[in-house]
Every structure is written in structure tokens, then in C-alpha cells.
Structure 1
Amino acid sequence: MPAGGKSTVRSRRLGAALKRLRLNALLDQEHAAEAVACSTAKISRIESGAVSARVGDVRMLLDLYEVEDAEERKLLEKLARDSNKRGWWLDFETGRPMREVLGDFLSLESDATYIRTWQPVFVPGLLQTANYTRALTDVTPDVVDDEAADLVVRVRQERRRIFEENGARFAAVIWEPALTGPMASPSVHREQLAHLIKMSKQPNMTIQVLPHSEWAAARVSPAFVGLSYARETSPEVIILDALANCLILEEPEAMAGYVHAFDALRSAALTPSKSVSFIRKVMDSVTVENEEM
């Protein structure tokens, strides 16, 4: 059973994938139960994510379902192996519980191999400097004290580190006002823009600026993050921001609209090279000597 007696986001992803593969193979739960010598009730719990499947059982089920793709098998075996793995974010607890949905989001993000994000108001979280994040916490109603603000900054910087270490592909579309609008100070502003230019040079990174004039494209969707896994190019999970939390969408029928929205945004945005030139021009226009003392 997953740690704490509850399903985990990894056990649910594994269960959903195994159910999809079983149905594709035109087999029922009785066939699966016979293959791994267990009850149909256990297969049902595995497919719902209520219990974690053992790696050996996953291999037998994949053989039964005639799954030959080595990368897909490796991914599902890893999900089984990591279903009960302690989340890195739990090391950042400070006496206040971290929301369960945030833990789910961090788990999904850590496993992703391709991340897309559209941000009309802020710099995407994985591209934020520590000073930019701290400035945001100062005006966020949900962050009530310095301890909570420090936790937000440390968790977000650890997200950055893990993302850079994993080397996932990343594509961001950022609306122009998020970059040209006032920030906490000119020094924070310049530092953040310089970091975007630096990150844009990474081979796995694509950053595009949507011009202010493309207001129709900017209204195609609120901010969102799309996460893909293994060879799957289309998003398998969509994350929507809320004031004090986030909403996780995993239903396949919800994906199509966001795929269309991101394609429309990328088409309307400046090319990556023109976007870098634009960001550099904005950075050069921000003078630190004008910063208030």
C-alpha cells in the first residue's frame, strides 16, 4: 500500500497506465489477476492507485499486455519502484503542513520529461530567481510571515535545481507585460531578466515572448503548466494556478483544449532568438542607479 495508506500521484499514474494497456489488449481483470496470481480485487486496487504494484508484477502484466516498448516499460517499472518514495519537498517542512495537492504537483513535475508553461502575469516558477520569488511572497496574502516566505523561496529554488539536474525539455511563453512591468526593484528586475537570457541558452530550453499587441492570443487561456512523460509529446497532466493552491487535471478529454491553446500562443509569440533580443533590450532599459534607496 502507498505510504500513509493513501494513494500517491505515482501509484495513480501507474494504475491508470496499466488499466489503459489492459483495455488496449482487450483483456479483463480476471486475466490480469491470473497472470500475477492475485485476486481481481487487488487488480482493481492497483488500477485505481489505491495500492502500489510490485515491479515484478508490473513486468508480468506488461508481458501479458504485449508491451514491447523498452522506454515505456522502464517508465512504468520506475513508477512502481518510486510509488512509496519519500518526496524531496518533505525535507522542507517547518512545522506547518504542506498541502497534499502541492506535493502531488511537485511529484508530477519532478517526473516530467517535457514541461510547457504559459504565463501572462509572472515569470514561470522554474525560471524565477530567489529575489524575484521573495518579492512575490511579500505581496501574496497566503504567505503570512517570514518563515512561510522563506519556505516558498527554498522550495522553488530546489524545484529549479532538480529541473536543471533532470534535463527535462522546457518551453515557456511569457506575455510581454510580465517582463516589462514594474518589479520589486530595478536590481531584482535586471537580475531576473539576465537569468532568463542565461536559461534560454540551454539546449533543452525554449523561451518565447508574446508581444503586448497579441492581446487576443493572450486571452486564449489563463496561466497553466502542461506535463508530459517519456516519449509522449502531448501533455498528460495540466496544472492550473489558484490563489492559495493549484488544480491538477488528469482527464484525457481536458488535454486537447490546452494543447490547442499552447500551439496558438507559440505561433503568435516572437521566435526564441527574437525573444532573447527583446528581453536583453528590456534589461538594458532598466537602470539600477534609478533604484530608490
Structure 2
Amino acid sequence: MPAGGRPTVRSRRLGAALRQYRQAAKLDQPQAAEVIAASQARISRLESGSVSARVIEVRLLLDAYGVEDPEVRAKLEELAKFSKKRGWWHEYAAHLRPGYLDHITLEDDASHIRQWHPVLIPGLLQTQAYARAVITGGPNSLSPEYMEQLLEVRKRRQERIAEGGAKYSAVVWEAVIEHPLASIETHLGQLSHLLEVGRQKNVTVQVLPFHAGSLVAAANPFAAFSFDCESAVEAVTMEDVMSTSIVESSRDLEVYASSFDLLCSSALTPEASAKLIQSKLEAIEEGAS
């Protein structure tokens, strides 16, 4: 059983891939079960991610499915090895929703994270002051201890981007830049930070301008993840007030990948976005003086 007694993101990703390759090979579950000398129920549980696959099982199944690509095989074997691995975030598990833990797991595994947000600066780009304003401004009443835990988690999530561990692309609506979410001081600090982090080689920040019109309403906030050297979107998460949902079906992933591409092409270039952010920052400073 995956860690925590529930399917993990990694075991689900592995299971979905094994199911896809089995179906492409035109084998049914009983035939796959014979390959690893197991029951059909085990194949079903492997493909649903409710049990962790052993590396030898993955190798035998991929042989039977005719999967020869060494990169694909290495990637799936890696998922099998680490499907039960406990990351740093598990020390905060008592304070986090299961869906949020899944989101952090995807962040930690991803080679490229793409994020769109029409309302807020995305969490991976937030200053501590801005994050505190977001957390305290929510509908739920949080204890000081719980709030500090959430802030610490957000800070630790940002470390991988700061260290260049993943490529990160964000698109935000101009209204997020234009209108302060909290105090003027907090907003100015956030805009300055956005300019600074946007200079990192692994980070791209773009602003979707007001004149993009109805495109803003066409896509709710989401984060899309690619893994290893793959550029294709392999998972998407969406958050609301109470939960985090994960999109993994290939058809839906194509829609989100296309949506992000459209947002990027409709947004200002990274250079023009930085100029806009700088002008907004200067305008707010002048108005506050």
C-alpha cells in the first residue's frame, strides 16, 4: 500500500502509464497478471495506484508490452522506486489537506511547472508578507500555529525554484499587478520580488494585459506539470477554497496545455511584462509619497 494508506501521486502516475502501455499492446489484465505470476486483482490495483509496484514487476510488464525506450523505462522504474518515498512535506502532513500534499509532490517531481492565476500572485512567487495576507484573508479562521506552518511550507516549496531545480513559467492577469491585495507596503514588496525572481534563468513571468478581454474568464487558475525531460503536460492541479483536484486524463491534459500556450501567446513578453511591473511599482510609489 502506498504511504499513508491511499494512492499517491507517484503510484497513480505509474499505474496510469502501465495501463496505457498494456492497452496499446492489446493485452487484458489477466494476460498481464500471468506475466508477473500474480492475480488480475493485483494488476488492477497496480493500475489504479492503490498498491506500489516493485521494480521487477515494472520491468517484466514493460517487456511484455514491448516498451523498449530506455528513457521511458528508467522513468517508470524511478516511479516504482520512489512511490512510497516521504518528502520533506510529510512532516507537515497533519496540517495539510491530502490534495495539497499531492500538489507539493508533483511540484517536487516536476522538471517544468506552468502556472496561470487571474486573482493572486502564485504561491511559488509570493513573499512571506504577501503569503500571510493571502492566508489570513481566507474564509477560514486559522490558529497562529497553523498559519505559521502554512507559511513555512510555502517558503520551503519555493526553495526548489530558487535553487534552479525546476523550470517555472507563470502567467498572471494585469489586475493582480495593478490592484494591491493587502497593504501598499506589502504590494510594493511583492512587485519588487516578482521582478527579482523573474531574472532567474529558470523562471519566466508574463502578464496577461487587460486588453486580452474574455480570455481571462476562459481559464480558472491551474498548475501544469511536466516531468524529466518531457515537455508534455502530464498532470494538472486546480485549487479551490476546500480542496485540490488533480487532472490526469490525456484528453483533459491536452486542453490545459493548449490553454496555457494560448495564455502565453496572448500575454506580454517576459521583457514587456517586467517593464509593466516596474511601471506599476513606480506609479504606486509616487502615489504613496
Per the TM superposition, whether the score is higher than 0.5 is yes
Which residue matches 1:140?
138
- Inter-CA distance 246–288: structure 2 relative to 1 (3 Å threshold): farther
Q: Is the 8 A contact 1:7 1:50 kept in 2?
A: yes
Q: Which one-letter code corresponds to 2:146 in the other structure?
A: A
Which residue matches 2:228?
230
Which residue matches 2:104?
106
Which residue matches 2:241?
243
Percent of residue pairs bearing the same amino acid type? 43
Q: Which one-letter code corresponds to 1:179 in the other structure?
A: I
Which residue matches 2:183?
185
3-state SS of 1:113 partner: strand
Aligned-pair CA distance for 1:108 = 1.8
Aligned-pair CA distance for 1:57 = 1.7
Aligned-pair CA distance for 1:53 = 0.5
Which residue matches 2:10?
10
3-state SS of 2:211 partner: coil
3-state SS of 1:240 partner: strand
Question: 1:164-218 deviations in whole A, cap 9, x for unaligned?
Answer: 4462222111111101112323332222112211222222221111112222221
Question: 1:42-77 deviations in whole A, cap 9, x for unaligned?
Answer: 122111112111112212222222323222222211
Q: Is the 8 A contact 1:11 1:50 kept in 2?
A: yes
- Inter-CA distance 267–289: structure 2 relative to 1 (3 Å threshold): closer
Moved over 6 A (4+): none
Which residue matches 1:37?
37
Give the aligned length. Answer: 289
Question: What is the distance in 2 between the residues matched to 1:49 and 1:129?
Answer: 36
Aligned-pair CA distance for 1:288 = 9.0
Aligned-pair CA distance for 1:84 = 1.1
Q: Which one-letter code corresponds to 2:50 in the other structure?
A: A
Which residue matches 2:26?
26
Question: What is the distance in 1 between the residues matched to 2:162 and 2:71?
Answer: 21
Question: What is the distance in 1 between the residues matched to 2:7 and 2:216?
Answer: 37
Q: Which one-letter code corresponds to 1:37 in the other structure?
A: A
Provide the TM-score with structure 2 as the length reference: 0.91
For residue 195 of structure 2, the aligned residue among 194, 197, 220 is 197
Question: What is the distance in 2 between the residues matched to 1:4 and 1:150?
Answer: 24
Question: What is the distance in 1 between the residues matched to 2:141 and 2:256?
Answer: 29
Which residue matches 2:60?
60
3-state SS of 1:226 partner: strand
Mean alpha-carbon deviation: is it higher for 266-275 or for 156-165? 156-165
3-state SS of 1:213 partner: helix
Question: What is the distance in 2 between the residues matched to 1:14 and 1:53?
Answer: 8
Q: Is the 8 A contact 2:110 2:225 kept in 1?
A: yes
Question: What is the distance in 1 between the residues matched to 2:185 and 2:103?
Answer: 31
Provide the TM-score with structure 1 as the length reference: 0.90
- Inter-CA distance 4–218: structure 2 relative to 1 (3 Å threshold): closer
CA RMSD of aligned residues (A): 2.1
Question: What is the distance in 1 between the residues matched to 2:141 and 2:236?
Answer: 24
Q: Is the 8 A contact 1:240 1:246 kept in 2?
A: yes
Which residue matches 1:174?
172
Mean alpha-carbon deviation: is it higher for 32-41 or for 97-106? 32-41
Question: What is the distance in 1 between the residues matched to 2:238 and 2:131?
Answer: 18
Question: 1:100-157 deviations in whole A, cap 9, x for unaligned?
Answer: 1111121122112221111111001111111110111221122422222212211111
Q: Which one-letter code corresponds to 2:3 in the other structure?
A: A
Q: Is the 8 A contact 2:116 2:260 kept in 1?
A: yes
Which residue matches 1:79?
79
